[in-house]
Structure 1
Amino acid sequence: MKRLLLAALIGTAALVSFSSCKKEYVTQEVNVLDGTSYVFPVKSGDWDREGNNTYIKDIQISDLDKRYYEDGHVSVAINVDSTPDRYVAIPSELKGYKFSYNYSIGVIRIYANGLSSPPENMIIKVVLTDATIGN
Structure 2
Amino acid sequence: MKRLLLAALIGTAALVSFSSCKKEYVTNYLPGVTFNTKVVSSSWGVDNTGYSFSNELDFPELDAKYFDYGHVGVAVSFDNDPNYFINIPSAIGPYNYRVEYKIGKVYLYADYVGSDNKPVRPTNMLVKVTLTDADNGGN
CA separation in 1, counterparts of 2:82 and 2:95? 17
Q: Does 1:125 align with 2:138?
A: no
Give the distance between the partners of 1:48 and 1:102, measured in 2 at CA. Answer: 15
Structure 1 residue 33: Cα displacement: 3.5
Aligned residues: 112
With normalisation by structure 2, the TM-score equals: 0.73
- Give the 5 Å matches for 1:1-135: 32-51=29-48, 52-114=50-112, 116-135=119-138
1:77-127 per-position Cα deviation (integer Å, ceiling 9, x unaligned): 000112211100000011210000010000010000015110011100000
Describe the SS at the equivalent of 1:108: strand
Structure 1 consecutive aligned stretches of length 4 or more whose deviation exceeds 3 Å: none
CA distance in 1, matches of 2:54, 2:30: 30
Residue type of the alignment partner of 2:135: T
Q: Residues of 1 paired with 2:111 and 2:55: CA distance?
A: 12
Separation of aligned partners in 2, 1:33 and 1:50:
39
Q: What is the alpha-carbon distance in structure 1 between the residues aligned to residue 58 and residue 30 of structure 2? A: 21
Q: Classify the secondary structure of the residue corresponding to 1:63.
A: coil
- Measured in 1, the distance between the counterparts of 2:122 and 2:67 equals 28
Distance (Å, rounded) in 2 between the aligned partners of 1:42 and 1:105: 20
Q: Percent identity?
A: 32
Gaps of 5+ in 2: 1-26
CA distance, structure 1, for counterparts of residue 93 and residue 41 of structure 2: 13
CA RMSD of aligned residues (A): 2.4
Which letter does structure 2 place at the counterpart of 1:118? R
